[in-house]
Every structure is written in C-alpha cells, then in structure tokens.
Amino acid sequence: MERTFIMIKPDGVQRGLVGEVISRFERKGFTLVGMKLMAVSRELAEKHYGVHKDKPFFAGLVEFIISSPVVAMVWEGDSVVTSGRTLIGATNPISSAPGTIRGDFGITIGRNLIHGSDAIETAQQEIALWFKEDELTSWESSTKGWLYE
C-alpha cells in the first residue's frame, strides 16, 4: 500500500485546524498509520526543505516551521501521494481551489497550513526522515471492503 508524509504546519496547529485536516483524510478513506505533535529542530527543518535551500524563501520557511509545533503524519491508501496533494490544493492558497485545505483555509503562500509529499519516492524519503520504523503501525481498517473493489 502506498504511503505519504503529511505535516500540519505551525499555522494549522495554532489555528485549531488539526481535527479538520485529519477529518478530511479520514473521510476520503485513507488510513492513518503514524502521527505525532512535535517541536521541529532547525536541523530537521533544513533537511526536510533541503531541495529549496537556494531559494530566497528558504530561511523564512525554516524559521516558520520551527516557530511553533507541527503535527507530522503518515497516511496510507491507493494513490495517496497524488490524492493527498489534491486534498491539500495548490501551493499558493490565494489560487487553491475551494474545497481543498489550502483553498478553504489559507490566503498567503507563506502560511499555507500543510505539507504533503509530491511523489512516491519523496514520500519514502520524508517518512524515513520524520518517523522511526516503530512509530508507524500497519493495520487494516474494517471499512476496506467498502472503499475498494
């Protein structure tokens, strides 16, 4: 089964949107296999956003991610990487579609509430970066037969 890394950023936690985000992934039918609320170290933030290290917004992005707790999660299901990105919406919330998390709750790119892995390979790297193997729990939802043919 495919897995993706989802992180509710400090703005999402501070604004009380943790339950809302979890609810959207649950209602879609995806399975939660790992979750923790945590203060992010500068080292972890810089590794996670390493692909953006030469961008002008990198320093501000790292400062933001370490400024207040985040909720890190791993979700599982068919095509969950792509579907998770669809649930999240476009990077800049001002143009994210209504009905998406960013489209419904955000206004500016620097406060876009949530991170989601952008490819299967990235998801594997991010899950390994944020979670130890024993922090993830494989389980089968009793609703599986009603979600998949």
Greatest extent of the chain over all pairs of C-alpha atoms, in Å: 47
From the list Mg ion, ligand DAT, none, pick the one residue 110 interacts with, judged by a Cβ distance below 5 to 8 Å according to partner type: ligand DAT
Residue 52: active-site member:
no
Binding mask 17-46 for ligand DAT (x = CB under 6 A): ------------------------------
* Least CB distance to ligand DAT at residue 77 (A): 19
In this structure, what token pair is assigned to residue 120?
A: 């299967």
In this structure, what token pair is assigned to residue 87?
A: 């649930």
Q: Which of 115, 116, 127, 131 is catalytic?
A: 115
Q: Which residue is nearest to Mg ion (CB)?
A: 118
Q: Confirm if 2 and 80 have CB atoms less than 8 A apart.
A: yes
Cα atoms in the 13 Å half-sphere on the side-chain side of 29: 11
Q: Which amino acid belongs to residue 129? A: L
Catalytic residues: 115
